[in-house]
Amino acid sequence: MLRTYVIAFLIFLYAPIALLPIFAFNSGSVIAFPLDGFTTDWFAQLGQQTELHAALLNSLFVGVLASILSVLLGLAAARANVRYRFPGKTAAMGLIMVPLVLPEIIVATSLLVVIVRFFDWPLSLWSLIAAHVLICTPFAIAILNASFQALDPALEEASIDLGETRLSTFRLVTLPLVMPGIVAALLISFTISLDEFIIAFFLTGSDVTLPVYIWSTLRFPKLLPVIMALGTIMVVISILILTLAEWNRRRGLRRVGAKDTGGFL
Amino acid sequence: MNQDSKRGLTLIAPPLAYALALLAGPMLAIVLFSFWTQDYLTINRTLSLKNYAEALSDPFYRAIMGRSLVVSGSVTVITVLLAFPVAYYVSFRVRPDRKSLWLFLITIPFWTSYLLRIFLWKVMLGYNGVVNSALTGLGLRDEPLTWLLYNANSVVLTLSHAFAPFAILPIFVALEKIDRSLLEASRDLGENAFTTFFRVTLPLAAPGVVAALLIVFIPTVGDYVTPAQVGGPNGMMIANVIQAQFRDLNNAPLGAALSVVAMLIVTVIALGTVWLARRLSRGT
């Protein structure tokens, strides 16, 4: 009985996403049943949407920079958290992890107030990158914490005993061992940034990101089938990215000889 | 100060400085800003409680705030109730080497475009949507149902779907930590499967359940996309009003005051939940 329930739950979980490819390949221009015929036109039309291309490039730019910066900050925080004891640790880690539970509208409005009302700076993709680093860092830390926890400190001590400096030990021993965690953290941060809407909605000026562009098209029924095609491609890509991240994480755990205890979060 | 502390502090300094500059600072700024007032096109910087008076007394804002809390509260309870059996199944019934695959399956929908997932619920529940097509197609109804979409219920359903993985993961983690020999001990001492669940498993899983409650409740109160897409005029929530003040109505200080009020209410409810959970777990 429990098994039946869980399967029903998974169907509920996947039902809306299953609709994406159905409408992406449906020749009718209205997103509703009954279906018409099979077509790949909507995918072909993706190539002609110049605004979409600009939005995609903006999103990739924001996602790449935001994920690199969050993983750098995440590495420092996770390393400090796992390896060292220092005064104010709980409070410091608590503050850094807060964006994980904060409603995103609060982050969006408070940064908007500071940027526009207090400093009178123009909004740009950089303001969005700064905000995305803030919300991606806690996810990076969560993943990297696990990587550093799985790392045996004796390996680093051995390296120092054998004459390496602290820096070369980090480069030659620590970094390769936590590399799978770093890759997973990069991929997850990138995925979060790529998908984030409300902060981007508030903080982008004239340069919009992909979710903001999608939001603007949801009001125009004519473009919807093309968006379904785009969505189908995005789902496939995010499944690939996640599979890669998960494969990497497991490889990392195997490398340090730890037991697998679950997913990313 | 010993060397360990120094190294730790040096490492934590950059991420901490970042959080102070982009989180703590802006939070203080929005609190200050909420005491200023909009004077047509300019901002009057004398401190005033006018925005708070309006946010707390205007029946419209009170109704929206109340609805946000009721919707989020319902989403939280429904999501956690639906999630618990799934977490239990993965933790207790699935073979250990298959567990991460199951978690992977559960989290995948969560990583696919949030906007499109919400929009697709419109396709599910709409007039010519999946549910109505199925009902009329099977001959169960002559006319499509119109009450499925654009109300508070559709917001609850859509949010429960969006936040399901958030609830499953913390409960799963708590269930994984339970020492299985405690369950055997309970059975050996004469409890049946049912009483063992309520007297051993559930109390031990309580921290995960509390975490799940908070992790669903806090972000859903401030959700913008779902009420805007599937809520209709009677499903609007606080984030939609805040956004309108900042963008269309051009009364950003009032929007800031509404944000601060929402944040305070959420914080009080969250702390209350933690306090209540601690008291209950001490009582048993």
pLDDT at A196 over 60: yes
Distance from first CA to last CA of chain B, Å, rounded?
43
Q: ipTM value, please give it.
A: 0.84
| Alpha-carbon gap: B38 to the closest alpha carbon of chain A (Å) | 12
| Alpha-carbon gap: B282 to the closest alpha carbon of chain A (Å) | 24
Domains present along chain B, CATH in parentheses: 49-283 (1.10.3720.10)
Examine residue A26 and state whether it is found in any structural domain, yes or no.
no
Examine residue A20 and state whether it is found in any structural domain, yes or no.
no
- Give CA angle at A216 (A212, A222), nearest 5°: 135
Examine residue A53 and state whether it is found in any structural domain, yes or no.
yes
For chain A, what is the domain count? Answer: 1
Tell if the CB–CB gap between B109 and A6 is shorter than 8 Å: no
- Kindly give the confidence (pLDDT) of every residue in chain B, 284 residues in length, as a single tens digit, with 9 standing for 90 and above: 688 888 889 899 999 999 999 999 999 999 999 999 887 777 888 888 888 998 899 999 999 999 999 999 999 999 999 999 999 999 988 888 888 888 888 888 887 788 888 988 988 888 777 788 888 878 787 777 877 888 888 999 999 999 998 899 899 989 988 888 888 888 888 888 888 888 888 888 888 999 999 989 998 998 999 999 888 888 889 999 999 988 877 788 999 999 999 999 999 999 998 898 888 777 55
Per-residue confidence (pLDDT) for residue A264, from 0 to 100: 45
A4's enclosing H/E stretch is: helix A2-24
Nearest CA to B37 among B26, B48, B27? B48
Tell if the CB–CB gap between B246 and A202 is shorter than 8 Å: yes
What is the residue-wise DSSP string for A171-203? IIIIHHHHHHHHHHHHHHHHHHHHH--HHHHHH
CATH of the domain at A126: 1.10.3720.10
| Alpha-carbon gap: A229 to the closest alpha carbon of chain B (Å) | 11
Examine residue A232 and state whether it is found in any structural domain, yes or no.
yes
What's the rounded Cα separation, in Å, for the pair B172 and B91?
6
Residue A105 is nearest to which of B29, B86, B224, comparing CB atoms? B224
Nearest CA to A141 among A77, A189, A196? A77
Examine residue A193 and state whether it is found in any structural domain, yes or no.
yes
Examine residue A129 and state whether it is found in any structural domain, yes or no.
yes
Q: Could you give the C-alpha distances from A219 to A157, B7, B152, B157, B256, in angstroms and in order?
A: 60, 53, 21, 22, 27
Q: In this structure, are residues B62 and B56 in contact, taking their beta carbons and an 8 Å threshold? A: yes
Q: Could you give the C-alpha distances from A97 to A12, A93, A114, A234, in angstroms and in order?
A: 31, 6, 21, 28
pLDDT at A181 over 90: no
pLDDT at A206 over 50: yes
Tell if the CB–CB gap between B128 and A263 is shorter than 8 Å: no
Distance from first CA to last CA of chain A, Å, rounded?
28
Examine residue A176 and state whether it is found in any structural domain, yes or no.
yes
> B164-176 and B202-221 helices cross at what angle (nearest 10)?
160
Residue B12 is nearest to which of A77, A101, A264, comparing CB atoms? A77
Q: In this structure, are residues A33 and B136 in contact, taking their beta carbons and an 8 Å threshold? A: no
CB contact set of A107 (below 8 Å; sequence gap of 6+) = A99, A131, A134, A135, A199, B23, B26
Examine residue A265 and state whether it is found in any structural domain, yes or no.
no
Tell if the CB–CB gap between A103 and B14 is shorter than 8 Å: no
Joined tokens for residue B234: 């009677």
Per-residue confidence (pLDDT) for residue B74, from 0 to 100: 95
| Structural domain span for residue A200 | 39-255
